[in-house]
Amino acid sequence: MCRMTAVICSKADTPREFLVDSNKSLLKQSNAVAGRRQSDGWGIAYYSSNGPAELIKSPAPVYKDGKKFANSASKIRSEITIAHIRDASNPRGLKKSALGGMHNTQPFSHSNMIFAHNGTLEIPEEITAFLGRYKKFIRGNNDSEVLFWQFIKLLDSYGSTEAAFENLMDEIWTTWHSCKNRHADKKFPYRGLNLFASDGKSFYALCHYPLKKDPGALMTRGWKWGELALKRENGRIILSSEPAGGENWARIGDLSLATVKKTNGELKLTVKKIAGDFK
C-alpha cells in the first residue's frame, strides 16, 4: 500500500523534517517492513513562490533513490507540499513491467491542482468508461490516475473540492452496483480511498478505508491501516498515512474530510464526517 505525507505551512517552509529526517519519516517508512516496501516510484508536489504547481518525480524505489529524494525535499520552500511513495496496486492483473515508469508515479497534476491517492480502485475500467472527454488525458496504467481524472471531471462540474470528493464516492458506488456481478471476487469497489488534493491555496484530505483485514501501519504499533495521522505545530499542519515522526499525532478516522485553509495568516483546520451508505 502506498504512503503519503502533506505539510501545510502558514508561510513558505521546507517539508524535509517529515519527509526525510524524523524517526518515522516518509523515506524511513519506505523500507521499514520486508514485504511491504515502497518500490514503485516517488513524487513530491509543491507550489513555487510565484504560485504554479511544481512536481519532482522518479520511477525508482525511493529507498534506493534516497539522496535525490532528500536533496529535493531540502530545496523546497512552499506553503503546501504533498509527497507520495508508491507500492503499486494492480487491479487489472497487468505484468509488473506495465505498472512502473514516470506516467504511473504520483502525485498527479492538472492546471494548479495536485492530487495523490493511497489505496486501490478495483474497477478502473468501469470508472474510465464514464470519464467522457477526460479519458484522453490518461497516460499510464495506474488505477489512481483514473481516480484523479474522475476527480478533475467532478471538480469542473461542481466547482468545489469537497463536492468533488463526495460525488466521486457516490459515482463509484453507483457504478459498482451496476457491475459488481462481474467482480464476484471483490467485496468493495476500492481498497482504500485516501485522497490528498490542493489548489495552492487550500488543502483537502479524504479518509476512507473499508478494508476489514487490517495489516496495520508500517512503523506505529496500534495505528490502523488507512487511518490518517494529523499533527499541528509551529504554524504548520501535517497529515500523513501514519505518524511521520515525533509525538502528539491525532487520528482522522474513516469517512472523514479534512480541509485546511489559510485565513488572515493563520491555518484553519476543519474535519467533518461524510454521510452516505458506502457499503
pLDDT in tens, 214-261: 788 999 999 998 999 999 998 999 999 999 999 999 999 999 999 999
pLDDT score of 213 more than 90:
no
Average pLDDT value for residue range 118-135: 97
| pLDDT band, residue 43 (cuts 50/70/90) | very high
- The answer on pLDDT for 278 being more than 80 is no
**Per-residue model confidence (pLDDT) at position 227:** 95
C-alpha cell at 205: 484530505
Predicted TM-score (pTM) of the model is 0.97
Average pLDDT over residues 203-211: 93
- Amino acid identity of residue 200, one-letter, is G
Mean pLDDT, all residues of the chain: 95
Is 146 within 8 Å of 114 (Cβ atoms)?
A: no
- C-alpha to C-alpha distances, 232 to 110, 134, 271, nearest whole angstrom: 28, 36, 13
Predicted pLDDT at 265:
85
Mean pLDDT of 141-168: 97
Res. 119: pLDDT tops 90: yes
Is residue 6 classed as helix, strand or coil in its secondary structure?
A: strand
The residue with greater pLDDT, 1 or 174, is: 174
Which segments of the chain are extended strands (E)?
3-13, 42-47, 53-58, 78-85, 108-110, 113-121, 190-198, 202-207, 228-233, 236-240, 250-252, 256-263, 266-273
The residue that leads in pLDDT, 256 or 187, is 256
> Taking a C-beta distance cutoff of 8 angstroms, is the pair 38, 5 a contact?
no
**Per-residue cell: 274:** 461524510
Which residues partner with 44 through β-bridges? 56, 83
Q: How far apart (Å, rounded) are the C-alpha atoms in residues 173 and 142? A: 20
Crossing angle (nearest 10°) for helices 161-179 and 143-158: 120
Q: What is the mean pLDDT of residues 184-204?
A: 95
167-183 pLDDT tens trace: 999 999 999 999 999 99
Confidence grade of residue 51 (pLDDT, cut at 50, 70, 90): confident
Q: What percent of the chain has pLDDT over 70?
A: 99
Question: Class of the 3-273 domain?
Answer: alpha beta
* pLDDT over 90, % of the chain: 89
Tell me, rounded to whole angstroms, the distance of Cα 93 from its chain centroid.
22
Q: What is the pLDDT of residue 205?
A: 98
